[in-house]
A = this chain, B = another copy of it.
Amino acid sequence: MKNHTKDYLRLIESIACLYTIDQGCIKVLLLKQEEEPYKGYWVLPTTYVSIHETCMEAITRELEEKFHFTDLELEEVSTCSTPDRMLDVPVMAVSYLGFMSDLEALKLTTEVSFETKWFDIHELPKIGYDHQEILQNAMEKLKDKLLDSEVLKKIFPSDFTLPEIQKIYESILGRKFDRRNFRKKFISLGLIEDTNDYDMNGVGRPAKLYRFKEHVSVKKLF
């Protein structure tokens, strides 16, 4: 091996799959690629990793620099080391998963100068490089994470309604729940409390607003 070191050296990049929930839809952050290759395609936030930092530190730094986003908790998803994934040079990818509230998501996209957008995961645009595949891997993990009350707390820091949560669960688990049974089960977990406010924005009878209690968490909600 030592005789052919150059055959073993690669660049490494960290890639972020950032999710939020807006109007009951799960959305992911993408950036418009302004240069060739894949000009006009959309890609995930990415940065090279220097030998003086970990992959996690690199992507955290990138999100701070590009989006002024701090205190974002990330989790490793998977790697991609297909030799020709970046065509010319060998680059290995390590991908990360993170969640934020819709308010944070909005702030993030309005404060930056380059073109970036939150896409519904069911209505994705043309995706550059192998980011489609990386997104796919992250989406697998996404489902597990959304069943963790700590993650829900990050996505819904302020008030939320039960029908809202129910819709997300039906979307990620791919099945319908009875409204009464869902409500009964969710409330019986003891994670949330009534705010005595109502969501007056929708059509029909206003839904009660709840908030998560502090210091309570459940890993597997369903």
Contacts and interface: CB of A to CB of B under 8 A. Distances in A.
* Copies of this chain: 2
A50 B82 contact: no
A76 B92 CA distance: 14
Interface in A38-67: 48-56
A83 B9 CA distance: 15
Nearest to A85: B54
Interface string A79-95: 10111000000101010
Nearest to A13: B8
Contacts of A9: 9-11, 51
A7 interface: yes
Interface in A1-55: 1, 5, 7-12, 48-55
Dominant secondary structure at the A interface: mixed
Contacts of A10: 9-10, 12, 49, 51
Given A52-B7, A55-B81, A12 B76 contact: no
A51 B94 contact: no
B90 A51 contact: yes
A54 B92 CA distance: 9
A78 B76 contact: yes
Given A79-B76, A79-B79, A83-B53, A8 B1 contact: no
Contacts of A76: 78-79
B92 A12 contact: yes
B51 A79 contact: no
A31 to B, nearest CB: 17
B12 A52 contact: no
Contact of A82 (B1, B11, B54, B78): B54
Given A8-B49, A92-B92, 11 more contacts: A7-B52, A8-B12, A8-B48, A9-B11, A10-B10, A10-B51, A12-B92, A52-B83, A53-B81, A54-B83, A79-B94
